[in-house]
Amino acid sequence: MGLKGYIGKRIFYSIILIWAVITVNFMIFSMMPGDPLAQFVAGQRGRIDEDRYNELRHAFGLDSPLHERYLLTISNMLTFNFGRETGSGEPVWNTVLTPLFNTIILMGSSVIISILIGIIIGVIVANKRGGLFDTFVVTGSLVGYSVPIFFIGWIMIFLFAIQLDWFPAGGTFPVEWGRNPPANILEFIAGRGIMIVLPVITLFMFSVGGWILLTRACVLETINEDYVLTARAKGLKERTVLFKHILKNASLPLITNVAIAFAFLISGAIITETLFSYNGMGLLTWHSIYPFPNLPVLSAIFYVTGLLVIVANFIADLLYGIIDPRVRYG
């Protein structure tokens, strides 16, 4: 089977997966026990009467038969029509846009930094396997990966926000901006940058250890191959051998994990964003769960996240053949 046939087969499988994601999404949010709308109405303390309640049920399609709601869900998901949120009645996209932009800034920064530094350190550690440096880094990675992320965040806030007063303890924008962010783009970038320093460090310290351990394991599988010995026998620089020959051929598992990391990027970090009061997708997800469920927003978040995972795996499969010529599509 050639590349075109492989792409066609993967597209077909991806369509089936998208249908499965939509179906599971529908089952989770439409067939769960209880009535989320009734919980929302109860939280309004009598401000919504029975007529308004019935209007809301009709607006959200909850009075339709199950099969009609299922077909409508498929149509809406495929056209990215996520409806209106339970609370304000605003379109879900309007509610999601600002937190989505904020999360891309935060998660994008932490993911890129973690991947780059983790892979570089992982290659170096694998090359110095068995030594004191290897033992120190592996132990530190295991400890950092095992410590709860909220504990790391608390330490960051206590040291750098409370004790040293270098960075703000939380928030999305500097307090002095109020409702009017600066028109100067450099001031805007600097202001936003100072607000994400502690959350980015927290996410970095929690995740970089996993990238180090994964890279180290991948590199150790190929570091003693014959082509590596040949490259060294030719007199190539050790840096060239490590990153051009060894890492390239050991990178297939890394590609998959990098793709999935970027796919989950928009889902945000619920604990970190809540801890730092950062208006991102993680905090939006938490507010959509508590104090009462905002199902249209949750459904949109879960569907888009699942869709991105499917797309990321599709791209990773195509990249395998580009990175490693030994991969054959079939």
CA gap 128, 31 in Å, rounded: 54
* All residues at 6 or more sequence positions from 292 whose CB lies less than 8 Å from its CB, including other chains: 36, 39, 40, 43, 86
Residue 328 lies in a domain: no
Q: Where does the pLDDT of residue 302 fall: very low under 50, low under 70, confident under 90, or very high at 90 and above?
A: confident
> Strands (DSSP E) along the chain, which ranges?
none
Tell whether 309 is covered by a domain: yes
Those residues whose C-beta lies under 8 Å from the C-beta of residue 60, and which sit 6 or more positions away, are: 37, 83, 86, 296
Domain boundary among 78, 105, 135: 78
Q: What is the pLDDT of residue 84?
A: 73
The pLDDT value given to residue 200:
92
To the nearest whole percent, how much of the chain has pLDDT over 70?
83
* Mean pLDDT rounded to a whole number for the chain: 80
Assess whether 257 and 125 both reside in one domain. yes
Considering the domain architecture, whether residues 300 and 165 belong to the same structural domain is answered as: yes
Token reading at 44: 């309004």
* Burial of residue 1, with CB atoms counted within 10 A of its CB: 0-12 exposed, 13-18 middle, 19 or more buried: exposed
Whether 132 is covered by a domain: the verdict is yes
Among 48, 78, 108, identify where a domain stops.
Answer: 78
- Residue 330 falls within a domain, yes or no? no
Instruction: Find out whether 324 and 252 touch, Cβ atoms under 8 Å.
Output: yes
Q: Is the domain of 73 the same as that of 101?
A: no
Instruction: State residue 3's pLDDT score.
Output: 66
Q: Is 84 helix (H, G, I), strand (E, B) or coil?
A: strand
> Same domain, yes or no, for 102 and 251?
yes
Q: If you average pLDDT over residues 71-94, what whole number do you get?
A: 79
Indicate if the pLDDT at residue 328 is higher than 90. Answer: no
Question: What CATH number should be reported for the domain holding residue 182?
Answer: 1.10.3720.10
Residue 91 lies in a domain: no
What number of other Cβ atoms are within 10 A of residue 160's Cβ? 17
Query: Which residues lie across from 84 on neighbouring strands?
Result: 91
Confidence label for 42 from pLDDT (cuts 50, 70 and 90) = low
Distance CA 129, CA 138 (A): 10
Would you call 183 helix, strand, or coil by DSSP?
Answer: coil
Which run of H or E residues covers position 111?
helix 92-127
According to the per-residue pLDDT averaged within each range, which of 94-103, 150-159, 279-288 is highest? 150-159
286 falls within a domain: yes
Are residues 20 and 154 both part of a single domain? no
Answer with the residue of higher pLDDT: 94 or 117: 117
258 and 185 in one domain? yes
In a domain, 84, yes or no: no
Q: Which amino acid is at 178?
A: G
106-136 in b/e form (b: 16+ CB < 10 A) is bbebbbebbbeebbbbbbbbbbeeeeeebee
Q: Are residues 39 and 114 in the same domain?
A: no
Same domain, 110 and 66: no
Residues 217 and 108 in one domain: yes
In a domain, 296, yes or no: yes
Q: Domain range for residue 318?
A: 97-323
Whether 213 and 150 map to the same domain: the answer is yes
Residue owning tokens 């089977």: 1
Question: For 8-12, 57-61, 247-251, which range has the lowest pLDDT when averaged over its residues?
Answer: 57-61
Per-state percent for the chain, helix, strand, coil, to nearest 5:
75, 0, 25
Q: How many domains does the chain have?
A: 2
Q: Best-predicted range by mean pLDDT among 26-30, 96-100, 130-134, 210-214?
A: 210-214
Asked which of 78, 106, 124 is the last residue of a domain, the reply is 78
Query: Do residues 109 and 60 both lie within one domain?
Result: no
Q: State how far the alpha carbon of 245 is from the alpha carbons of 125, 317, 323, in Å.
A: 16, 20, 11
Do 38 and 103 have their domain in common? no
Q: In angstroms, rounded to a whole number, what is the distance separating the alpha carbons of residues 213 and 71?
A: 45
